[in-house]
Amino acid sequence: MRIDILTIFPDLLASPLEESILKRAQESGALEVAAHNIRDFAVDKHSMTDDRPFGGGEGMVMKPEPIVAALQHVDNLHPGGFVVQMTPQGRLYNQNVAQEYAKKDHIILLCGRYEGIDQRVSAYVDDEISIGDFILTGGELAALIVVDSITRLLPDVLGCEDSVDNDTFSRGLLKHPQYTRPRSFAGVDVPDVLLSGDHKKIEEWRLLESVKRTIERRPELLKEVTFSKKEKKLLASSGIAGQLTLLDTKI
């Protein structure tokens, strides 16, 4: 996969892209990431990328000319990229969108700043994404989140494919509690089932704990979750099925 990021602050992206999974993915050839400075495509001698909004109001608005020129530059180098604008007005980014994006060969992430981007740029954009109902200084941190969440879904990047399949949100449920050594800490012991070596019972425990945690913390997620016949039977025998029915879950 190739990801191009358009920004007026490319240095903000440098360090995260050179660490951990993102670094290894690039070294292995699974991912190619390039940052492009929108200022390089400004048309005036001061490299202006923003101006005051027509109609008045606070702040500045990013100009269309340098952004479109930057998009065209990337398209000339690598045609056919899927253009995503990072904006609070976009659809909410989640694991389903990450999986959707991970199937693409080339994505271009456009990072906004100030009071936003001139509306006329939308004609060059394929999708608009928001990572949540809060405001950031700019789209760079949001773009990094998108890059990270996509990268870990790419084949062979994590090394353990089960990590992707069992992650929180992989099927709409929060992940079950996790434990490691020591067996006892601060008066709390690791649940006996995890030490039993019985993989079937461990799987069942993890599913039940995952459902319980989702009920307690994010019950709205359960409306989109479906369970197998085997799982339904387990949930019924544990008494959790009744709680799910009250939450209008498909059980």
- Among 118, 127, 128, 167, the active-site one is 167
- Among 2, 24, 152, 218, the active-site one is 152
**For this structure, is 115 an active site residue?**
yes
**For this structure, is 152 an active site residue?**
yes
**For this structure, is 91 an active site residue?**
no
* Residue 189: how many other CB atoms lie within 10 Å: 11
Structure tokens belonging to residue 205: 């425990």
Task: Tell the residue number behind the tokens 């030490």, with chain if given.
Answer: 195
- Among 40, 75, 115, 128, the active-site one is 115
CA distance 213 to 208: 9
**For this structure, is 191 an active site residue?**
no
- Among 16, 53, 64, 88, the active-site one is 88
Positions annotated as catalytic residues are 88, 115, 152, 167
